[in-house]
């Protein structure tokens, strides 16, 4: 056979680079393709689920964890296998990972984890290794399927949307919130310092909100503005015959949903049963994740679905409250208005009313930014699992609300005959003088009793400068209205002095329908400010002309 006038043998023997013939070059090219194909086929075979669970260590200890997760079975029918999460897709990174896996073969030969007991003993350390790798690669394998830039915020739950927005802005990566997503959880074994270091954001990873996210944020802002306008209209007008502190029609309102918390404690918030525990550790506020779903949250708890062993039939899970705030340069004024609900008798209270004297009670806390978790969780910082009517309440004594700054640890029911884990009196006094407390104001509608105290080592119901309250019930449309007046400045120990140029943590609870103790409705923590657009509850300055009357209690 002749090709271009030359026989094939002559063509194959033609010399090329470095004296190699065309035939030799073709031969080695063919051998190279076969070797490459064989190598790549073998490497891909080691990525299969069947290969990964072919040793009993993985099949018996990891595979069964994985089959109970959303990555194995889900509504979309898309399954992520071991390699999808643990082997890079890009060739260079994939080869590097395969080289590192030789260490796993060594430990297979050594029998390092060849029993369930050995595996469990090393599970946390193996998880640490994976977390370290994912943190270093910005959760590269996660982002093969999940990427901020392709997420549709409209299709996400409010909590997920808020966490993803925070992650983009702060520079968090997937693994910061989604540890234990496919295997047995072990991150609850980490101490606080290590966990905080692990989930800390990397500002270099922060990104600008993608267009669909920016559009969603703008849409939500417009809806919130409309909601604020509606909140101003939901409050019953003040009758001329009744006393009011201010002309409240000139003050904008903030709609705040308060919810029934059941036996939810600060320990529960920080614990493994709460899927927001790790965002909380990362500094995310409860409001960032839960605003917009507070009513649903309260509905689940009040029904007994979670956190409530003593169900009160037909009790409201949430209450919408219109909150208005103003100041005159010397006093803070607050107004709370909410719809009256139907009476829901408590089956464990005589006559169905836990507090027959008082149809409603209101408690308000103020704190600066130095109280642990007050900035994120509001008054929840004072609600522990060992206080009265809570799961770990000691039988031999009553433990009231307190702050973590006053304790070395939470008391438990098993410690009934042991001293409470309080700091020394001198240490507690130092915390008080340093401002590490919550200013507490309470009002009872039936008796008219007002208390001005604070929370630190316990709930102290006296000692502050005092505040004035009025309450009335607008029977025309079934609204309760409670107004408060308090001096901004105070020299009393246990009072927070309010500075116009600062933000403060404000939260409140309402005991509705003759309820008592923990059977109330609570708010999350909000930022109180003065003529400050960044405040979530903004006290607007009112001139003397805006004030209607000197404060006095309304006639019954």
> What is the Cα–Cα distance from 140 to 43, expressed in whole angstroms?
20
> What is the Cα–Cα distance from 373 to 268, expressed in whole angstroms?
13
Compute and round to an integer the Cα radius of gyration of the chain.
Answer: 32
More confident residue, 244 or 116: 116
203: which 2 tokens?
């500002």
420 confidence band (pLDDT: 50, 70, 90): low
pLDDT at 157 over 90: no
> What is the Cα–Cα distance from 94 to 141, expressed in whole angstroms?
11
Q: What is the CA 231 to chain-centroid distance, rounded? A: 25
Work out whether the CA dihedral 402, 405, 406, 411 comes out positive or negative: positive
pLDDT at 189 over 90: no
Where b means 16+ CB within 10 Å and e means fewer, 96-128 reads ebeeeeeeeeeeeeeeebeeeeebeeebeebbe
Q: Read off the pLDDT of residues 190-232 as tens digits, 9 standing for 90 and up.
A: 877 788 788 888 999 999 999 999 999 888 777 766 555 444 4
Q: What is the CA 75 to chain-centroid distance, rounded? A: 26
Other Cβ atoms closer than 10 A to 174: 21
N- to C-terminal Cα distance for the chain?
118
- pTM of full prediction above 0.85: no
pLDDT at 278 over 80: no
pLDDT at 351 over 90: yes
> What is the Cα–Cα distance from 449 to 357, expressed in whole angstroms?
11
How does DSSP assign 412-437, residue by residue? -GGGTTS---BPPHHHHHHHHHTT-S
Work out whether the CA dihedral 322, 164, 372, 422 comes out positive or negative: positive
> What is the Cα–Cα distance from 178 to 170, expressed in whole angstroms?
16
**pLDDT of amino acid 232:** 46
Q: Read off the pLDDT of residues 307-344 as tens digits, 9 standing for 90 and up.
A: 999 999 999 999 999 999 999 999 999 999 999 989 99
> What is the Cα–Cα distance from 32 to 123, expressed in whole angstroms?
41
Work out whether the CA dihedral 451, 453, 456, 458 comes out positive or negative: negative
**pLDDT of amino acid 395:** 78
> What is the Cα–Cα distance from 224 to 119, expressed in whole angstroms?
51
57: which 2 tokens?
């260590």
Backbone angles phi, psi at 279, to 5 degrees: -60, -35
Can you tell me the mean pLDDT for 286-314? 91
pLDDT at 234 over 50: no
More confident residue, 24 or 249: 249
**pLDDT of amino acid 237:** 46
Q: Return the percent helix, strand and coil in the chain, to nearest 5.
A: 40, 15, 45
* Cα-based distances in Å from 353 to 141, 323, 444: 56, 27, 15
């Amino acid at each position: 056979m002749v090709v271009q006038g030359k026989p094939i043998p002559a063509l194959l023997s033609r010399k090329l680079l470095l004296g190699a013939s065309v035939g030799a070059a073709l031969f080695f090219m063919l051998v190279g393709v076969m070797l490459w194909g064989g190598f790549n086929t073998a490497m891909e075979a080691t990525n299969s689920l069947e290969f990964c669970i072919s040793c009993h260590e993985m099949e018996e200890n990891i595979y069964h964890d994985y089959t109970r997760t959303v990555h194995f079975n889900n509504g979309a029918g898309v399954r992520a296998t071991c390699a999808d999460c643990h082997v890079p897709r890009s060739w260079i990174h994939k080869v590097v990972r395969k080289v590192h896996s030789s260490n796993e073969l060594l430990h297979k030969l050594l029998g390092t984890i060849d029993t369930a007991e050995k595996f469990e003993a090393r599970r946390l350390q193996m998880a640490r290794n994976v977390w370290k790798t994912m943190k270093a690669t910005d959760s590269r394998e996660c982002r093969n399927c999940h990427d901020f830039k392709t997420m549709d915020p409209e299709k996400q739950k409010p909590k997920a949307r808020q966490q993803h927005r925070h992650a983009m802005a702060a520079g968090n990566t997937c693994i910061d919130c989604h540890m234990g997503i496919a295997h047995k959880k072990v991150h609850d074994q980490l101490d606080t310092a290590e966990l905080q270091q692990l989930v800390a954001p990397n500002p270099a990873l922060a990104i600008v909100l993608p267009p669909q996210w920016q559009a969603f944020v703008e849409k939500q802002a417009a809806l919130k503005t409309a909601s604020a306008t509606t909140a101003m209209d939901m409050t019953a007008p003040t009758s001329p015959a009744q006393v009011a502190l201010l002309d409240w029609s000139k003050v904008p309102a903030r709609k705040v949903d308060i919810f029934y918390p059941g036996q939810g404690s600060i320990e529960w918030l920080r614990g493994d049963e709460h899927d927001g525990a790790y965002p909380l550790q990362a500094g995310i506020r409860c409001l960032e994740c839960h605003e917009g779903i507070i009513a649903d949250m309260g509905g689940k708890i009040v029904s007994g679905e979670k956190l409530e062993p003593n169900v009160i039939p037909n009790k409201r899970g949430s209450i919408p409250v219109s909150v208005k705030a103003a100041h005159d340069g010397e006093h803070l004024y607050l107004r709370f208005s909410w719809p009256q609900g139907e009476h829901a008798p408590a089956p464990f209270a005589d006559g169905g009313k836990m507090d027959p004297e008082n149809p409603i009670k209101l408690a308000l806390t103020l704190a600066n930014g130095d109280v642990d978790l007050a900035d994120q969780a509001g008054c929840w910082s004072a609600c522990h699992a060992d206080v009265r009517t809570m799961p770990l309440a000691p039988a031999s004594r009553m433990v009231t609300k307190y702050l973590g700054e006053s304790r070395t640890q939470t008391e438990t029911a098993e410690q009934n005959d042991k001293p409470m884990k309080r700091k020394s009196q001198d240490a507690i006094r130092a915390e008080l003088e340093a401002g590490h407390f919550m200013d507490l104001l309470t009002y009872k509608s039936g008796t008219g009793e007002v208390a001005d105290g604070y929370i630190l080592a316990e709930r102290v119901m006296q000692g502050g400068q005092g505040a004035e309250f009025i309450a009335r019930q607008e029977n025309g449309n079934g609204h309760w209205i409670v107004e408060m007046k308090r001096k901004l400045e105070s020299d009393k120990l246990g009072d927070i002095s309010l500075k116009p140029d600062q933000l403060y943590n404000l939260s409140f609870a309402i005991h509705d329908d003759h309820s008592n103790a923990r059977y109330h409705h609570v708010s999350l923590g909000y930022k109180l400010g003065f003529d400050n657009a960044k405040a979530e509850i903004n006290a607007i300055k009112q001139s003397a002309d805006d004030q209607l009357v000197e404060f006095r209690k309304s006639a019954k």
